[in-house]
Amino acid sequence: MAIATLLPATTAFIQRAPRMLIGAEWVEAADGQTMPLHNPATGEQLCVVPRATVDDVDRAVLAARQAFDDSPWSRTRPRERQNLLWKLADLMQRDAELLAQLECLNNGKSAAVAQAMDVQLAIDFLRYMAGWATKIEGSSVEVSVPLMPDQQFHSFIRREAVGVVGAIVAWNFPLLLACWKLGPALATGCTVVLKPADETPLTALKLAELVQEAGYPDGVFNVVTGTGITAGAALTHNPRVDKLTFTGSTAVGKEIGKIAMDSMTRVTLELGGKSPTIVMADADLGSAAAGAASAIFFNQGQVCCAGSRLYVQRKHFDNVVADIAGIANAMKLGSGLDASVDMGPLISARQQERVWRYIEMGRDSGATIACGGERFGPGYFVKPTVIVDIDQQHSLVQEEIFGPVLVAIPFDDEADALRLANDSPYGLGASIWSNDLAAVHRMIPRIKSGSVWVNCHSALDPALPFGGYKMSGVGREMGYAAIEHYTELKSVLIKL
């Protein structure tokens, strides 16, 4: 068993009880209130962080507003924005192990995986966005202006930074989700107030230190730690915010979307999912089973685009399910600091209870638990679980569980697979496992989801837009699509 030793810098960061960054100041909450953070692998308290008040959030937004309107940042050239983002990515690379250990302690995920995936993807993404900073273009247009037929005009379209961004993120990929907001915001010249998830603010606070070290002007990036109900809501309602960008549950996202519409605040919503994994009869069944297992069990199933519904063509259903159950049964559960562990704990006792309720619901309704179906502590562990003999309309098939629980259903043909895959309120991702090129190309346009993977699942790249159809959200992150979401278009017409 190879237990990672914590870096002295990791222990020191946690022991010093990190504070929030508002403008240039590292501060406690205005009323001195704090909230405890827990290590999900043990249930023990890690440290406390400030519980931001409405006033704290208002001060952070004001700092971001002033930085956007009046500071040197508002005159920063694209090349400087590119270089700053690249510098920030370099600092994250230097501190990659520390960031990964914080993510492990705070979220429960494997430190080794966090370093290779979460932190590295965040770094790669910032470098990708640094490239866009120098490539944001408007266009010039030859116009007619029918009402003034005798006049000449010069006309062009500018793409301008949207302004102050209020970013609210979930706890499953705390650093990566924050960087998905920060990257396009800083590339385009916006300023940001980030509200990390209640449970997982540590890497956001470390990120704020690195933003300062990189040399960003004060107020460009602010972090307020606190609850959704107070700090998140205060950010959502603040009239000085120009754009809200939210990653989290569909229920909260819908509320934020309604509030944003009231004030016409720009809004991007990255919400829940219930993504299908479709295994066609001609697929390489061994890799399909391994891929389907990883699609649901990676990050303890706490992935928005996790392949949580498995559809297998009937004649291979039992074999594929047995293979996945075999993989699940062989998985070692434990602390994310142990590199030999395959699956860590869920984020909290509350999430463990929620996932457990779904498993009980399946059992009570007569479904078969093909493997797993157990929970244990200390820490918030649930064994990787596969459930069969379940109806497509069952809550376990229709609702997002957000844990290591796979529901599996057989299908008869391509049309049946498409019908089942699309029978969901969500539309974030889907994977097709097949070697039949024609069938795959017939299916891709008919699947109602923002991403379709073929012979892989949840494979992300900074250049590919990511986001949802239907209840999985509004807008896209990553790719040039993100730049579009952090900018406004301004049409200019000059009468000559």
* Catalytic machinery residues: 270, 304
User: Within 308-347, which residues bind ligand NAD (CB under 6 A)?
Assistant: none
What contacts 143, CB < 8 A, 6 or more positions away? 153, 155, 493
Most distant pair of Cα atoms in the chain: their distance: 82
CA distance 103 to 83: 26
Residue 41 to residues 207, 333, 364, 417, Cα–Cα distance (Å): 23, 10, 29, 38
User: Which of 10, 66, 106, 247 contacts ligand NAD by CB under 6 A?
Assistant: 247
Work out how close the CB of 261 gets to ligand NAD at its nearest, in angstroms, rounded to a whole number: 15
Mark the segment that binds ligand NAD (CB under 6 A) among 190-198, 290-298, 358-366, 384-392: 190-198
CB count in 10 Å sphere of residue 65: 19
288 closest CA partner among 299, 302, 278: 278
CB closer to ligand NAD out of 161 and 168:
168
In the stretch 276-305, what mask flags binding to ligand NAD with x, by CB under 6 A?
A: ----------------------------x-
**233 touches ligand NAD (CB under 6 A):** yes
CB closer to ligand NAD out of 91 and 234:
234
Taking the C-alpha atoms of 156, 159, 164 and 169 in order, what is their torsion angle to the nearest 10 degrees?
Answer: 150
**273 touches ligand NAD (CB under 6 A):** yes
Strand, helix or coil at 265? coil
Mark the segment that binds ligand NAD (CB under 6 A) among 4-12, 228-236, 288-296, 380-388: 228-236
**109 touches ligand NAD (CB under 6 A):** no
User: Within 160-189, which residues bind ligand NAD (CB under 6 A)?
Assistant: 168-172, 177
**270 touches ligand NAD (CB under 6 A):** yes
Work out how close the CB of 301 gets to ligand NAD at its nearest, in angstroms, rounded to a whole number: 11
Work out how close the CB of 306 gets to ligand NAD at its nearest, in angstroms, rounded to a whole number: 8
Work out how close the CB of 17 gets to ligand NAD at its nearest, in angstroms, rounded to a whole number: 20
Residue at 208: amino acid letter: A
CA distance 409 to 385: 14
Q: For tokens 């569909």, what's the residue?
A: 250
Residue at 315: amino acid letter: K
* Backbone Cα Rg of the chain: 24
Work out how close the CB of 366 gets to ligand NAD at its nearest, in angstroms, rounded to a whole number: 27
CA distance 142 to 127: 35
Binding residues for ligand NAD (CB under 6 A): 168-172, 177, 195, 197-198, 227-229, 232-233, 236, 247-249, 252, 255-256, 270-273, 304, 400, 402, 428, 468, 472-473
